[in-house]
């Protein structure tokens, strides 16, 4: 096995570990907080913990569907869907923190099962995204990495939101 392949394998494992850990970390950070605290923004215009988890849920669903298409179709052209725009067409922001976390956990479980079943060629399956960024190329790997990195940022935001 070449160094590149080994590094790719370790990166994939790291991404999978991060994706598995996100719902657990959210639950840990929120543990002991009342619904009132989880649903209250820390400042005017700021996101509440519920808003953050609803956003992560929307991202997981929208971006997860893109990954599913990359796997199912040969180099699809996918119109980029903004999770921020898409969430406005749902009732996620009015659902409870626990409802959104349960839904995120379920969606995440499906993504993990999908990604764990991929070989190297599966992780490399490409798509072209149009819409906000015309002609942007992505792979299953780059999208999964994007989800994991995005969630790390929001986990920090969640911690700050719930700090006393």
- In this prediction, residues 54-80 reach a mean pLDDT of 95
CATH of the domain at 125: 1.20.120.450
Look up the domain containing 85 and give its range.
3-162
Chain segment 85-134, per-residue pLDDT in tens: 999 999 999 999 999 999 999 999 999 999 999 999 999 999 999 986 55
Chain segment 3-26, per-residue pLDDT in tens: 333 347 889 999 999 999 999 999
- In this prediction, residues 38-60 reach a mean pLDDT of 96
pLDDT of residue 155: 97
% of the chain surpassing 90 pLDDT: 86
Of the CA atoms within 13 Å of residue 45, those in its CB half-sphere come to 0
DSSP annotation string for 53-118: HHHHHHHHHHHHHHHHHHHHSSS-EEE---HHHHHTTSSGGGS-HHHHHHHHHHHHHHHHHHHHT-
Q: Which residue has the tokens 């190297």?
A: 120
User: Do 80 and 131 meet the contact criterion of CB atoms below 8 Å apart?
Assistant: yes
- Region label for 130, one of left (φ > 0), alpha (ψ between -120 and 50) or beta (otherwise): beta
The pLDDT confidence band at residue 135, using thresholds 50, 70 and 90, is low
pLDDT of residue 134: 56
pLDDT of residue 7: 41
Query: What's the structural domain count of the chain?
Result: 1
């Amino acid at each position: 096995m070449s160094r590149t392949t080994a590094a790719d394998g370790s990166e994939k494992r790291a991404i999978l570990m991060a994706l598995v850990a996100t719902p657990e970390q959210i639950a840990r950070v929120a543990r002991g907080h009342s619904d009132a605290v989880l649903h209250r923004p820390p400042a005017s215009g700021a996101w509440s913990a519920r808003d953050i988890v609803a956003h992560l849920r929307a991202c997981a669903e929208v971006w997860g569907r893109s990954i599913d298409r990359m796997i199912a179709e040969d180099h699809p052209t996918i119109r980029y869907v903004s999770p921020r725009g898409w969430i406005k067409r749902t009732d996620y922001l009015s659902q409870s923190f626990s409802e959104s976390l349960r839904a995120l956990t379920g969606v995440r479980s499906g993504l993990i099962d999908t990604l764990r079943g991929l070989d190297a060629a599966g992780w490399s399956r490409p798509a072209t995204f149009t819409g906000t960024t015309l002609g942007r190329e992505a792979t299953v790997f780059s999208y999964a990495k994007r989800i994991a990195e995005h969630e790390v940022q929001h986990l920090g935001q969640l911690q700050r939101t719930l700090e006393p």
